Amino acid sequence: MIAFDNVAYNYGGGELLSEVSLRLAPGSFHFLTGPSGAGKSTLLKLAYAELLPTAGHVTIFDKDVRSLGRNDVALTRRRIGVVHQDVQFLDHLPLAANVSLPLTVSGKQGNPRDLTDLLQWVGLGKLADALPPSLSGGERQRAALARAIIMGPDVILADEPTGNLDWEMSLRLLTLLAELNRMGKTILVATHDLNLIRQAKAQVAARVLRIRNRRIQLAGADL
């Protein structure tokens, strides 16, 4: 689905990522970990063509990102649901309208039943009419996940989705991600929370990638 071959990235102040090669096979579940500032968010941005590599190749759905025109980028991104680190909503729109915004923007008529089912699935069925400022951190993250999957993406990329959540809510979010994976979605979650990764291993066959000294390595039993 997504492959990095010998990828490097540099914001201008020296190489942040070097010689990164990885493959996200269809239906796989990966965690991406590493210290703050190691480049986890940057790697995710490379994986959905928000950034282009400064060297090497990123291939998304069998196409090199450098060969994608603007329309191709838009089409490619529709197949990738992203949960951003700092979740943003339109505060004047109710939760349901925020979650269905990707449909609205792409001019698609969503099925209201599907939206209701989706909100119920993430445990927000009763909050469809709530405005974003009234939501808790956990509710916002689950709404962000619902918005990321409303277009039916093949891949879900989540950047510290449990960053500000308590343990119970983190587990709830993890369970949703594990369920999505069981439905066949390919998942990559950036997190510095090693406890979450340990917990996840009981639920899904997750592999753990770690950024260390600009390079990526497969973490082993030392987690």
Ligand X SMILES: Nc1ncnc2c1ncn2[C@@H]1O[C@H](COP(=O)(O)OP(=O)(O)OP(=O)(O)O)[C@@H](O)[C@H]1O
**Spatial CB neighbours of 213, under 8 Å, sequence gap ≥ 6:** none
Query: Least CB distance from residue 205 to ligand X, whole Å?
Result: 24
Nearer Cβ to ligand X (39/138): 39
Residue 58 has phi, psi (to 5 degrees) of: -110, 125
| Length of the chain (residues) | 223
Query: Least CB distance from residue 8 to ligand X, whole Å?
Result: 13
Q: Which one, of 143, 58, 60, 163, lies nearest residue 102 by Cα?
A: 143
Across-strand partners of 15? 10
Nearer Cβ to ligand X (78/214): 214
Residue 197 CA, chain-centre distance (Å), reads 15
Nearer Cβ to ligand X (9/102): 9
Nearer Cβ to ligand X (45/78): 45
Sheet strand arrangement including 55-60:
15-24, 2-10, 55-60, 63-64
Query: Least CB distance from residue 189 to ligand X, whole Å?
Result: 12
Contact 122, 100 (CB under 8 A): no
Nearer Cβ to ligand X (16/124): 16
Query: Least CB distance from residue 212 to ligand X, whole Å?
Result: 11
Query: Least CB distance from residue 153 to ligand X, whole Å?
Result: 21
Binding site for ligand X (CB under 6 A): 11, 16, 34, 36-42, 192
